[in-house]
């Protein structure tokens, strides 16, 4: 029986790439299917959230931004757009669709944190069972 192949790729690079572009950490690790899935889901949530809030919800002066910025590149790239749109007129913070849009972008950030950690652990601990089904079998 041959030992499992150990990747020479850096887990920290996977973490950083995963922040710059959601799913890029998994692409770096050679998992292209998951990379595309994560990119579509997380970027889709950020864009949908911004549209729901009429482009006014990714603002650094709000506490939500701490979660939103975890979505990485898409959230950071859309920040100036959101600042510009918000500066053009009053924002209805209590509008339910605005709140929902903010929730979408914040959840996208938390999901990207999870995805980044997944990309990191897959490269940092290659000998551990990565699939929950394998873990159940080992137990």
In the bound complex, what is the minimum distance in angstroms from residue 81's beta carbon to another protein? 21
In the bound complex, what is the minimum distance in angstroms from residue 92's beta carbon to another protein? 13
**Which CB atom, from 34 or from 65, has the smaller least distance to another protein?**
34
Measured between alpha carbons, how far is 19 from 14 in angstroms, rounded to an integer? Answer: 9
**Which CB atom, from 83 or from 111, has the smaller least distance to another protein?**
111
Measured between alpha carbons, how far is 104 from 52 in angstroms, rounded to an integer? Answer: 9
In the bound complex, what is the minimum distance in angstroms from residue 100's beta carbon to another protein? 5
* Beta-carbon-side half-sphere exposure of residue 129 (alpha carbons within 13 Å): 9
**Which CB atom, from 44 or from 126, has the smaller least distance to another protein?**
44
**Which CB atom, from 16 or from 44, has the smaller least distance to another protein?**
44
In the bound complex, what is the minimum distance in angstroms from residue 74's beta carbon to another protein? 14
**Which CB atom, from 85 or from 106, has the smaller least distance to another protein?**
106
Measured between alpha carbons, how far is 73 from 38 in angstroms, rounded to an integer? Answer: 13
For the residues of 80-135, what is the DSSP string, one character each? Answer: HHHHHHHHTS---TT-HHHHHHHHHHHHHHHHHHHHHHHHHHHHH-TTS--SHHHH
Site for another protein, rule CB under 8 A? 33-34, 37-38, 41-42, 44-45, 48, 52, 96-97, 99-100, 103-104, 107, 111, 114-115, 118, 130-133
In the bound complex, what is the minimum distance in angstroms from residue 80's beta carbon to another protein? 25
> Dihedral sign, CA of 40, 41, 42, 46?
positive
């Amino acid at each position: 029986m041959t030992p499992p192949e150990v990747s020479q790729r850096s887990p920290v690079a996977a973490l950083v790439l995963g922040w710059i572009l959601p799913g890029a950490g998994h692409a770096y690790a050679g998992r292209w299917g998951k990379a595309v899935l994560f990119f579509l889901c997380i970027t889709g949530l950020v864009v949908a959230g911004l549209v729901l809030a009429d482009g006014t919800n990714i603002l650094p002066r709000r506490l939500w931004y701490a979660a939103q910025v975890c979505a990485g590149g898409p959230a950071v790239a859309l920040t100036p757009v959101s600042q510009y749109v918000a500066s053009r007129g009053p924002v209805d913070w209590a509008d339910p669709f605005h709140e929902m849009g903010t929730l979408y972008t914040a959840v996208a950030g938390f999901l990207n944190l999870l995805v980044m950690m997944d990309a990191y652990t897959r490269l940092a601990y290659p000998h551990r069972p990565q699939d929950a089904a394998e873990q159940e079998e080992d137990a």
